[in-house]
């Protein structure tokens, strides 16, 4: 469905894109895993534990997390120097930004390789250190919180708050709609 929408906007045809995907059963040759499961630390840690056991020792383990500490994911592996955050922004085919998050344990070699990969994918990497919220959510969540406070205090109706952000700040959607898209549980 997403590929069809992109094709309507001038992107590649869905069949062409899917033709570039090659499923494999043998993970011995894998050089990189980019995890993109639900934003739940226990689930992500389980994926990292299993990937650490299955993938070659030299493989890099990246997470698309927007908030889970990269250091906690690195800590459940025997390769903490090869664990990194690679936070893609939605919609991934459209937005160029990839927030590259280095844990304390992440090696310089791993960071350089992931920054280069992001550029090879046609993305613009922005490096951040592993602090709560990284950069994107550290800035975004107070913005969303203020929109919620404005609603709670009766400053404006939801539609007006989102319209002001969209038209006044040139945002593609308002903070309340964005919170709904992200998921209120994830925002909290």
What sign does the dihedral 118-127-83-140 (CA atoms) show?
negative
**Which residues of 72-148 form beta strands (DSSP E)?**
83-88, 97-102, 124-129
Distance, C-alpha 32 to centroid of its chain: 16
**Residue located via tokens 């959510």:** 137
Residue ranges of E strands in 44-138: 60-63, 83-88, 97-102, 124-129
DSSP-assigned beta bridge partners for residue 85 = 63, 101
DSSP 3-state of 106: coil
Which of 44, 87, 102, 123 is an active site residue?
Answer: 87
Which SS3 state, helix, strand or coil, does residue 103 take?
Answer: coil
Does residue 90 carry a pLDDT above 90? no
Q: Is 171 a catalytic residue?
A: no
Strongest mean pLDDT among 9-13, 19-23, 133-137:
133-137
According to DSSP, the residues that pair with 35 across neighbouring strands are 63
Query: Which tokens sit at 44?
Result: 């992500």
pLDDT bucket at 93, cuts 50 / 70 / 90? confident
**Quick one: residue 134, left, alpha or beta (phi over 0 = left, psi -120 to 50 = alpha)?**
left
The predicted pLDDT at position 182 comes to: 84
Span 73-97, average pLDDT:
93
Q: Which two tokens stand for residue 168?
A: 């006044």
pLDDT at 92 over 90: no
pLDDT of residue 22: 82
How far is residue 15's CA from residue 3's CA, in Å, rounded to a whole number? 9
Question: Which position has the higher pLDDT, 103 or 28?
Answer: 103
Query: Is the pLDDT reported for residue 121 higher than 90?
Result: yes
> What pLDDT shows up at residue 53?
94
Give the contacts of 19 (CB within 8 A, at least 6 positions apart): none
pLDDT recorded at residue 60: 98
């Amino acid at each position: 469905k997403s590929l069809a929408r992109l094709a309507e906007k001038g992107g590649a045809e869905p069949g062409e894109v899917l033709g570039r995907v090659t499923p494999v059963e043998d993970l011995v040759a894998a050089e990189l895993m980019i995890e993109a499961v639900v934003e739940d630390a226990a689930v992500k840690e389980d994926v990292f534990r299993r990937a650490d056991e299955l993938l070659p020792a030299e493989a890099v383990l990246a997470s698309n997390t927007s908030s889970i500490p990269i250091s906690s994911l690195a800590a459940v592996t025997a390769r903490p120097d090869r664990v990194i955050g690679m936070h893609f922004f939605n919609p991934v085919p459209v937005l160029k930004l990839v927030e590259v998050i280095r844990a304390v344990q992440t090696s310089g070699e791993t960071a350089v390789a992931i920054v280069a990969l992001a550029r090879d994918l046609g993305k613009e990497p922005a490096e951040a250190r592993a602090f709560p919220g990284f950069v994107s959510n550290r800035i975004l969540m107070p913005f969303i919180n203020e929109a919620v406070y404005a609603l709670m205090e009766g400053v404006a109706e939801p539609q007006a708050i989102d319209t002001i952000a969209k038209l006044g700040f040139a945002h593609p959607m308002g903070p309340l709609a964005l919170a709904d898209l992200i998921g209120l549980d994830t925002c909290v």
